[in-house]
Amino acid sequence: MKAFASTSRRALAAAAGIALVAALAACGGSDGDDSAAADLDPDADLSKQSIVVSNWADYMPEDVATKFEEATGASMEVTNHATNEEIMAKLTAGSDSGIDVAFVSGQFAQALAAQGLVEPIHDELIPNLKNLAEPATTMAYDKGNEISVPYTWGTTGICYRSDLVKEAPTSWNDLLEPEDAYKGKVTMMATDRWLMLPAQKALGFSANTTDEDEMAQVKDKLVAAKKNLLAYDDTTFYERLISGEAVMVQAWDGWCNYGTTENKDITFTVPEEGSDLWVDTMVVLKTSKNKEAAHAFINYLLEPENGAWAAENILYNVPNQKAMDLLPAELKAQYPPLQVTADELLKGESLTDLGEAATLYSQLVTEITSS
């Protein structure tokens, strides 16, 4: 199993990226009317095409370019971005980025499409779309996978030391209002959408709410919770669990798995009030000059064995059902979040682009963390 070198990429992405999306919306730009599909040739000679793919480091096999060329004849170069913010800045700079396929989270794909920067997905060039679980075609940010194709997905919950807490947490309030014994031993995430999530769900609100009265209640609850926190932590929370410095943390399911690798008493649960559904996607850029090869690459990654690689090495669920079916039973037994079905994940609320309302979130996060 590979080391978890890519584990910092989601945490760094969220808040700043959302702010960028808001800025894009404020600047106007395309309303999506210029997103008409190109006229692509399904019989194009891919050996005459080359593509550049930008992804998070270690998020696909190291030999992916070689294997893709062997499979299709198209040549490929891989570049890396650290965060959604970084790739969004590059793709929205106003000129051809030279990138053909980019990996971005779902709400960012939605924002790029709103700017007319992505090519509509040509289903006829991606026959392996049939490998996706049906729920993966119903995401709120892109119903029908019209502008993006999902690669990995998961949810957010509470990761905890089962040997250091008397009872397993069941509610977000177990984190927001911990027992006296756990005060100073819990962490929450720092980035906008995920910092808000526990209070939003505990209060019965949407994770995409833009209602100012609701968000004022969310702020009050999070300000009250702050005094009991060990830290806001998006990157090292599972290490705090391993050391015992923390006993309960807000975490993504895949990242909780990283802790479980080191300590079998580290366990993940989704609180009874519900949670989110995040998705990392692949988009084809409108500026791509080799769109047939770009679609062929997405089709290649949707091969079951390639999807299974992602689940086995990144420890995230993948929406590729045939890939999930290939996972060894012992891997699923070791990491229970990998046993979560697509239908169960769909119970989480899909995060969507907030547009200009993202500034409200950023403002409240600043007020909460500085209180």
- Tens of pLDDT along 240-279? 999 999 999 999 998 899 999 999 999 999 999 999 999 9
Cβ atoms of 241 and 250 within 8 Å: the answer is: no
| Structure tokens that stand for 35 in this block | 């997103």
Average pLDDT in the 316-331 region?
A: 96
Q: What's the pLDDT score for residue 244?
A: 97
How many Cα neighbours within 13 Å face the side chain of 109?
29
Average pLDDT in the 344-363 region?
A: 89
Cβ atoms of 111 and 147 within 8 Å: the answer is: no
Of 63-72, 216-225, 254-263, the range with the lowest mean pLDDT is 254-263
Average pLDDT in the 141-158 region?
A: 96
State how far the Cα of 260 lies from the Cα of 262, in Å rounded to an integer: 5
What are φ and ψ of residue 341, in 5° steps? -85, 165
Q: Is the pLDDT of residue 34 over 70?
A: no
Q: What's the pLDDT score for residue 23?
A: 37
Query: Average model confidence (pLDDT) for the chain?
Result: 89
Of 121-130, 341-350, 352-361, the range with the lowest mean pLDDT is 352-361
For 352-364, b/e burial (b = at least 16 CB within 10 A) is: bbbbebbbbbeeb
Cβ atoms of 173 and 364 within 8 Å: the answer is: no
For the chain, the distance separating the N- and C-terminal CA atoms, rounded to the nearest angstrom, is 42
3-state helix, strand, coil in the chain (%, to 5): 45, 15, 40
Rounded-to-10 torsion of CA 160, 166, 167, 171:
-60
| Structure tokens that stand for 236 in this block | 């090292």
Tell which residue, 62, 39, 275, has the closest CA to residue 170. 275
Q: Is the pLDDT of residue 14 over 50?
A: no
Which distant-in-sequence residues (6+ apart) come within 8 Å of 228 by Cβ? Answer: 177, 178, 182, 183, 184, 186
Q: Which residue has the tokens 């808000």?
A: 196
Q: What's the pLDDT score for residue 21?
A: 40
Query: What Rg value do the Cα atoms of the chain yield, rounded?
Result: 20
Q: What's the pLDDT score for residue 13?
A: 37
Q: pLDDT-derived band of residue 36, with 50, 70 and 90 as boundaries? A: low
In the chain, the percentage of residues whose pLDDT exceeds 90 is 80
In the chain, the percentage of residues whose pLDDT exceeds 70 is 90
Q: What's the pLDDT score for residue 234?
A: 85
State how far the Cα of 144 lies from the Cα of 123, in Å rounded to an integer: 10
Cβ atoms of 320 and 152 within 8 Å: the answer is: no
Q: Is the pLDDT of residue 237 over 60?
A: yes
State how far the Cα of 357 lies from the Cα of 212, in Å rounded to an integer: 10
State how far the Cα of 170 lies from the Cα of 272, in Å rounded to an integer: 6
Residue 134's Cα: distance from chain center in Å?
19
Q: Is the pLDDT of residue 15 over 90?
A: no
State how far the Cα of 358 lies from the Cα of 336, in Å rounded to an integer: 33
